[in-house]
Structure 1
């Protein structure tokens, strides 16, 4: 305990550097074309422990937060057991397989997702939506990543967001792109009234089964079913917007704005990635178009959580102040100078990534010899 307190001043001095390096790493990651690859299994002999040196301050705080206990409880089996047992049992029961098969599908989710994506053309919005509404691989990916979060390997974004927002009991929350439902389940565990919305029926059905089995009260919307107007205090769409087909982006953002009460909060992040075969379902390679549509819909920036999760406030869509806001947002996010600066930054990130990969390759060669 004394050692930790003695180290805190040094950690505070290093925090700005850590934040800068984290932002640089995120920019570089967007240029990676190799996909996410196999998930790690913490129970595999010789599996590396969590790399705590890469944790942000918010990540470290989330690990010991009371909210993390609520998140852990959301994963555990109804009859009791570990988070791992809960995740694998949920998948095995819902998809009619053994827990060993469920584990294998969790670890190799990306290969399965690639097969589902390439099973048909994905050249237009209808074809992309068909993928979302039929693919099952993401249930295994998202479920396992929830498990990795409680092991310190995954980034606990839902916990960090919940702690930052300090949600009060009775807050009406819509989780847009709700996946397997754990984020909504977390908010429900904190006393919120939750609604899950997803275009992917396999995910929504799985989430409903999970939450119903655990006695969690929730509402469900299978998109593109309309959202209730002014029905929510908070809408979360964590790492969802980059998967919205470009032709649907404006309508989607406007619908989210209309679903919030005036002054309500929209929390989102932009998992954009450079186009490649293994990044196929990441439909944007730059976050500027996403941020511009959000600003044009009437949202104002309120907070930036941990350098990459944006909290917007729903503002008015008419009047002089609204027009000024849109004009300023266009200049910062959609104007030719803004696009040029972003293009230069991406080229620098691509060069940095190439240099990193080259150094890693030379290091491996040196070790082999």
Structure 2
């Protein structure tokens, strides 16, 4: 695949756009078909997904794993995620998968795990680029919709329920987790599972979108909640891909592991993050 415009066109094609159908129209039509509702209702739910997700988040106890899974099994998060994918085509929202595909362009496509697969748009996109993709999630709603979309697209992506199956050990050359980590209740255990699923020297790519005013489903504020655990799980940091962190699986001995734990606990914590935020705020005021 060539330049960024071609990758964006591929993203739009995966979403169902055509000469006669815009990306937004394709997303609305697909949601309407799947949920057996008219397109006006589907459009309304897409446009007003923030209100619907807020109501669904508030109507249940979300402090337990079962409560969180219940939320992701509702419909509204799916409408919001898929509409965000449509906005990525115009780059109104960051085109996550396109950004990563540009960096992976020189890497021979092999096996990839799409962790927190959601509606699987990224899985289909990377499959079209030659990757053998497995999508994993804890939500029946997401997985059922992903499988339905895969059948429509004659996709060979494989989907697995993380509540029922463990990830295969050493099976994937790349693990991507896009807009996922801020929703994970047990970061350290999740990173260990990702590490074990990677081949030796395999690559983990993820972002942490956790602002103070983040949408429903975010379990914490600040990326330090995740970053402080990554190296101790058996990774070394590599150059970032824009807002996306990139780590490589490595083998640490006990001393290296202990050093990584101490360094990252001291470097990535609420105190340091708060200080950095104050410095950035002051710098913005000076620039004005």
TM-score by length of 2: 0.89
Unaligned runs of 5+ in 1: 1-60, 360-369
Q: State yes or no: 1:130 paired with 2:70.
A: yes
Shift of 1:171: 1.2
The aligned residue for residue 174 of structure 1 is 113
Shift of 1:228: 0.7
Given that residues 76 and 84 in structure 1 are in contact (C-alpha distance below 8 angstroms), is that contact kept between their aligned partners in structure 2?
no
Shift of 1:264: 0.4
Q: State yes or no: 1:99 paired with 2:39.
A: yes
Given that residues 206 and 244 in structure 2 are in contact (C-alpha distance below 8 angstroms), is that contact kept between their aligned partners in structure 1?
yes
Match of 1:267 among 189, 202, 205: 205
The aligned residue for residue 232 of structure 1 is 172
Shift of 1:157: 1.2
Given that residues 168 and 191 in structure 1 are in contact (C-alpha distance below 8 angstroms), is that contact kept between their aligned partners in structure 2?
no
Given that residues 117 and 131 in structure 1 are in contact (C-alpha distance below 8 angstroms), is that contact kept between their aligned partners in structure 2?
yes
Q: State yes or no: 1:301 paired with 2:232.
A: no
The aligned residue for residue 49 of structure 2 is 109
Shift of 1:330: 3.0
1:36-77 CA distances to partner (integer Å, 9 max, x unpaired)? xxxxxxxxxxxxxxxxxxxxxxxxx73x2x222221110116
The aligned residue for residue 209 of structure 1 is 148
Q: State yes or no: 1:285 paired with 2:216.
A: no
The aligned residue for residue 61 of structure 2 is 121
Q: Higher Cα Rg: structure 1 or 2?
A: 1
The aligned residue for residue 188 of structure 2 is 250
Higher relative contact order (CA 8 A, sep 6+): 1
The aligned residue for residue 38 of structure 1 is none
Q: State yes or no: 1:341 paired with 2:277.
A: no
Unaligned runs of 5+ in 2: none
Shift of 1:322: 3.5
Shift of 1:331: 3.0
Question: Could you say if the C-alpha distance between residues 78 and 200 of structure 1 is closer, same or farther in structure 2, counting changes exceeding 3 Å?
Answer: farther
Deviates more, 1:119-128 or 1:190-199: 119-128
Question: Could you say if the C-alpha distance between residues 314 and 80 of structure 1 is closer, same or farther in structure 2, counting changes exceeding 3 Å?
Answer: farther
1:119-158 CA distances to partner (integer Å, 9 max, x unpaired)? 11222333222222x2111211111111112223221111
TM-score by length of 1: 0.71
Between the aligned partners of 2:173 and 2:32, the Cα distance in structure 1 is 35
Between the aligned partners of 1:125 and 1:350, the Cα distance in structure 2 is 35
The aligned residue for residue 366 of structure 1 is none
Given that residues 229 and 261 in structure 2 are in contact (C-alpha distance below 8 angstroms), is that contact kept between their aligned partners in structure 1?
no
Given that residues 78 and 213 in structure 1 are in contact (C-alpha distance below 8 angstroms), is that contact kept between their aligned partners in structure 2?
no
Given that residues 242 and 284 in structure 1 are in contact (C-alpha distance below 8 angstroms), is that contact kept between their aligned partners in structure 2?
yes
Q: Give the aligned CA root-mean-square deviation in angstroms.
A: 2.5
Does the residue aligned with 2:200 lie in a helix, a strand or coil?
strand
